Amino acid sequence: MEDDFDIPTAGKFNETDGEDAIGDDMDAPEGGAGGKVGEEKEIGKDGLNKKILNEGDGWDTPINGDEVEVHYVGSLLDGTRFDSSLDRELPFKFKLGLGKSNSEQFHTIILLSKSSNRIWNTTHESISAHFLIFVFAITGHVIQGWDDGIKTMKKGEKSLFTIPPALAYGESGSPPTIPPNATLQFEIELLSWTKVKDISKDGCILKTIVTEGQNWQTPKDPDEVLVKYEVRLEDGSLVSKSEEVEFTVKDGCFCPALSKAVKTMKKGEKALFTVKPQYGFGENGRDPSGGDECVVPPNTTIQITVELVSWKIVSEVTTDKKVLKKILKEGEGYDRPNDGAIVQVKLVGKLEDGTVFVNKGHNETPFEFKIDEEQVIDGIDRSVKTMKKGEVAVLTIHPEYGFGSIESHQESAIIPANSNVYYDIELISFEKEKDTWELSTQEKIETSGRKKEEGNTLFKRQKYERASKRYEKALSFVEYDSTFSDDEKQESKILKISCNLNNAACKLKLKDYKQTVKLCTKVLDADSKNVKALYRRAQAYIQLVDLDLAEMDIRKALEIDPKNRDVKLEYKLLKEKVKEHNKKDAQFYGNIFAKMNKLEHLQSSNGARKQETVPMTIDSKA
């Protein structure tokens, strides 16, 4: 009879990969989605053939786990039609990748037939329209040929699939309509599909996109998101609903699933999340105190519809997370200020209780300062370098990058020691300091010299870390001098030696002795008789307790400049260090030898004691 089957059921099991990938070769059978209209092509190696009747749109195809919507007509090879969704004027929906073996499918049908007399008692014509839809609702599976074929289709495509018995109903067939070992033909039109993704990677949070979002960015743990959500039980009972709620992603909201869910969403996106108890309310369930919300029983799956209205990006300006920037308004383009840039801003500084201690740039003239010149606190310097023109942000700055451990008097209030401070800041405009590639060779030398002098000034003020960075910056302008003239190369060499030597002095002050050695070695590679480089490298070697190398450098420095007072003093210090070191070594080894002697004495004493306590033996033959 023509309408004994509404849907093709059963097939081989395909494990859902859960990944929202495009053109995933793990999902698609060999043969792919290609082909011309009217051309028949084999898909895979099991005899499944496909002929495209109408080309689809785009290039994307569904993957395992996606919910697809199709129209189809099924018939035998002799043209006998046994089922059609078109006759019912109702598209058929199912999830890809849930195929089962033929024997499992028919075992399910038999069980259902025995336990569902109400269905079998309906009219013969209604068996197709009700019973097998019920079978699908319980099993959730289609034949393997459908799974394999539909994964090669584009949206709107119509194709004719010829499906061998092994990928359909096999040796058993489906009497009386489908005989044993029957090859089937299905004309299928892929109307649409909905992506379903396993975002928890364990099958416990499944995501279905309802409305696509904008752009490509998604929230991260530190970000603050604004969402609308609705939570229901699987039977549709309302659990909770919120028109708008704001929360930090890592802190979450309502239940653990919500934090994981928003991290997969784009701005404006709306999605349905099916959440197992592990990420919902677990073994305890949820019992709201009064109100219209319903109870969530223990171990219950819930469904959460979430719309990501917007979010504020919170970035960690410093690696120790002590300077945070929350973007309230995105800036323009991609360019950002660099060290030395002149910036114009509006800013308001506040204490934790909201007390305003500074307000600058909100009159006719923006507040202007130069980055990396200590005209503002370090936290602002570092943050502004991450901003775009027109960007508005809130900064959270810990004392280490703010006003430190000393009470500070500002224009409108006193900042207590060890206080976090907060700034509302808008970057109006900026003028970047020229990069190396923008300068002529002579400009590079001049800029390098100026940066070196800035480093010298910082060194004298005991700002060793900032001085070191300034020397490194100075070096960057002359480091690569292949285009310099001979005279410019000579100037460049002098600057390189000077910057590396001065930077080595900074590293000594900062107790970075290994870096001191590297910098001095660079100088000595260019000038093997540089006494300062030998002297500073020897100082670093002494601190690293590499006394032999320290002595070699000092002796060489004294050969070059026998009257150098600083080197002589360092040599004296070295001798004291060697004496102290030898004394420690003597004491160390002396202790070891003493312990060894004591151990030998104890062992020999124990041996003698054992000899004395040996019992006397009597010769029984005497």
Alpha helices in 39-101 (DSSP H): 85-88
Strands (E), 12-84: 40-43, 48-54, 67-76, 81-84
Q: Which DSSP string corresponds to 136-203?
A: HHHH----HHHHHHHTTPPBT-EEEEEE-GGGTTTTT-BTTTB-TT--EEEEEEEEEEE-EEETTSSS
Mean pLDDT computed over 490-510: 95
Side chain identity, residue 525: D
pLDDT in tens, 588-618: 555 565 566 666 666 666 655 555 544 443 3
pLDDT in tens, 261-317: 999 999 999 999 999 999 999 999 998 766 667 899 999 999 999 999 999 999 999
Report pLDDT for 64: 81
Report pLDDT for 33: 54
Query: Residue 607, Cβ neighbours under 10 Å: how many?
Result: 9
Q: What percent of the chain has pLDDT over 90?
A: 63
- Model confidence, pTM: 0.61
Residue position matching structure tokens 């395992």: 64
pLDDT in tens, 433-443: 988 888 999 99
The larger pLDDT score, comparing residue 363 to residue 513, is at 513
Report pLDDT for 231: 95
Q: Would the pLDDT of 130 be above 70?
A: no
Report pLDDT for 389: 97
Which of 218-227, 398-407, 478-487 is the least confident region? Answer: 478-487
Report pLDDT for 103: 37
Mean pLDDT computed over 555-571: 88
Report pLDDT for 31: 47
Report pLDDT for 587: 58
Q: Would the pLDDT of 483 be above 70?
A: yes
Report pLDDT for 613: 44
Q: Would the pLDDT of 341 be above 50?
A: yes
Report pLDDT for 183: 95
Contact, 386 vs 376, CB < 8 A? no
Report pLDDT for 583: 63
pLDDT in tens, 38-54: 899 999 899 999 999 99
In angstroms, rounded to a whole number, what is the distance separating the alpha carbons of residues 227 and 270? 10
Report pLDDT for 585: 55
How many angstroms from the chain centroid is the CA of residue 465? Answer: 31
Mean pLDDT computed over 580-589: 60
Report pLDDT for 126: 38
Report pLDDT for 132: 42
Most confidently modeled range among 275-289, 342-356, 568-582: 342-356
Q: Would the pLDDT of 531 be above 60?
A: yes
Mean pLDDT computed over 125-151: 60
In angstroms, rounded to a whole number, what is the distance separating the alpha carbons of residues 476 and 473? 5
Average per-residue pLDDT for the chain: 83
Report pLDDT for 481: 80
For the chain, the first-to-last Cα distance in angstroms comes to 116
Contact, 213 vs 268, CB < 8 A? yes
The larger pLDDT score, comparing residue 104 to residue 415, is at 415
Q: What percent of the chain has pLDDT over 70?
A: 80
Report pLDDT for 304: 96
- To which H or E segment does residue 127 belong? none
Mean pLDDT computed over 152-162: 96
Report pLDDT for 35: 72
Burial of 205 (0-12, 13-18, 19+ CB in 10 A): buried
- Radius of gyration (Cα) for the chain, nearest Å? 39
Report pLDDT for 366: 94
Position 96 confidence tier, pLDDT thresholds 50, 70, 90:
confident
Report the candidate in 619, 614, 551 with the shortest Cα–Cα distance to residue 579.
551
Report pLDDT for 27: 47
Report pLDDT for 291: 63
How many angstroms from the chain centroid is the CA of residue 164? Answer: 45
In angstroms, rounded to a whole number, what is the distance separating the alpha carbons of residues 247 and 499? 49
Report pLDDT for 21: 38
Which of 4-13, 269-278, 390-399, 469-478 is the least confident region? Answer: 4-13
Residues in the chain: 622
